[in-house]
């Protein structure tokens, strides 16, 4: 079974530029999560989707971050414009069926973003 | 509010020695607790989880963890560490409503030959 796929693996941009990350969850997984992991910290949930609906986006900085999961499968996370403090690893995770905490989340390798 | 504290940012142990990584949680109801491991350049991998029942849970790679409600702790242990165990370890508590995970800040494990 293929795991959670993310691309790109690394991205370097200047501040105020925009950037997008892509995630393809494990086939059949209804729930998809985006986490932000700043160096020296644990992952922090940015947004959670159930199919193509948003379950929790309470910690997503909506003035600059956006995410979509239009067909309930893959997802894109965008930052526009980027700030220095957005430098982090962005992790995508998925599980099935998803809303129960007992459902194991499977994580992708992450995208490491550096904002200069 | 739910929170997780991992008091040790960095731990060094000799290969073959025993290991204990500490985790304390704050949660109003029955906690759902997890330990994940993250190797350099890799995503997080689940080591073990506790939901209910026996307070000593066994995981992969020879790890185990013990839930102690009275101490609000869920410490991870391994009797004999291998060099390949060098990684970052995260404790997390799960929300029963949405499946959301709240992570501690992590403990970096270094293994000396």
Q: What is the pLDDT of residue A98?
A: 56
Phi, psi of A50 (to 5 degrees): -120, 115
Q: Which residues does chain B have within 8 Å of residue A104's beta carbon, measured at their own beta carbons?
A: 46, 49
Q: Which of A13-22, A89-98, B75-84, B85-94 has the lowest mean pLDDT?
A: A89-98
Give the gap in angstroms from C-alpha B14 to the nearest C-alpha of chain A: 23
Whole-number percent of chain B with pLDDT over 90: 75
Interface test with A, best of B50, B89, B100, B104 (most A CBs within 10 A): B100
Inter-residue contact B43 to A109 (CB < 8 Å): yes
* Residues of chain B found within 8 Å of residue A109, distances taken between Cβ atoms: 41-43
User: Using CA atoms, how far apart are residues B99 and B95, in angstroms rounded to an integer?
Assistant: 5
Question: What average pLDDT does chain B have?
Answer: 92
Instruction: Check residues B95 and A20 and name the one with the higher pLDDT.
Output: A20
Residues of A in contact with B103 (CB under 8 A): 42-44
Q: Is A72 exposed, middle or buried (0-12, 13-18, 19+ CB in 10 A)?
A: middle
B104 CB neighbours in chain A (<8 A) are 42
Question: B109: pLDDT confidence band, cut at 50, 70 and 90?
Answer: very high
Span A41-64, mean pLDDT?
93
Query: How far apart, in whole angstroms, are the C-alpha atoms of residue B7 and residue B27?
Result: 17
Q: How confident is the model at residue A99 (pLDDT cuts 50, 70, 90)?
A: low
Between B40 and B98, the more confident residue is B40
Tell me how crowded residue B57 is: count the other CB atoms within 10 A of its CB.
20
Of B78, B108, B72, B65, whose CA–CA distance to B90 is shortest? B108
Burial class (CB in 10 A: 0-12, 13-18, 19+), B8: middle
Distance from CA of A41 to the nearest CA of B (A): 4
How far apart (Å, rounded) are the C-alpha atoms in residues B61 and B84? 10
Chosen for mutation from B98, B102, B104 (greatest number of chain A CBs closer than 10 Å) is B98
Task: State the smallest CA–CA distance between residue B27 and chain A in angstroms.
Answer: 14
Q: Shortest Cα distance from B71 to chain A (angstroms)?
A: 22
Mean pLDDT along residues A26-54: 93
Cβ-Cβ contacts under 8 Å, A99 against chain B: 97-99
- What whole-number percentage of chain A has pLDDT above 90? 79
Structure-model confidence comparison of residues A19 and B101, the more confident one: A19
pLDDT of residue B100: 84
pLDDT of residue B96: 66
β-pairing verdict for B19-21 and A44-50: unpaired
- Check CB contact under 8 Å for B99 and A95: yes
> Among the listed ranges A93-102, B22-31, B32-41, which one has the minimum average pLDDT value?
A93-102
Nearest to B21 by CA among B70, B76, B64, B73: B76
Q: Say which range, A74-78, A106-110, B1-5, has the weakest mean pLDDT.
A: B1-5
């Amino acid at each position: 079974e293929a795991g959670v796929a993310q691309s790109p693996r690394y991205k370097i941009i200047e501040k105020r530029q925009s950037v997008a990350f892509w995630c393809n969850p494990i086939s059949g997984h209804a729930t998809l999560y985006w986490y932000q992991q700043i160096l020296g910290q644990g992952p922090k949930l940015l947004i959670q989707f159930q199919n193509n609906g948003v379950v929790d986006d309470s910690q997503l900085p909506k003035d600059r971050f956006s995410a979509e999961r239009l067909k309930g499968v893959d997802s894109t996370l965008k930052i526009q414009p980027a700030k220095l403090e957005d430098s982090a690893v962005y992790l995508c995770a998925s599980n099935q069926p998803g809303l129960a905490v007992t459902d194991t989340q499977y994580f992708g390798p992450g995208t490491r973003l550096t904002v200069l | 509010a739910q929170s997780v504290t991992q008091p040790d940012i960095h731990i060094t142990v000799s290969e073959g020695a025993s290991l204990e990584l500490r985790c304390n949680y704050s949660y109003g109801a029955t906690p759902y607790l997890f330990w994940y491991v993250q190797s350099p350049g890799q995503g997080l991998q689940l080591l073990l989880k506790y939901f209910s029942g026996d307070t000593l849970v066994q995981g992969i790679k020879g790890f185990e963890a013990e839930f102690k409600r009275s101490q609000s702790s869920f410490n991870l242990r391994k009797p004999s560490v291998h060099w390949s165990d060098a990684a970052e370890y995260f404790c997390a508590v799960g929300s029963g409503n949405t499946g959301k995970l709240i992570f501690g800040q992590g403990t970096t494990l270094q293994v000396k030959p």
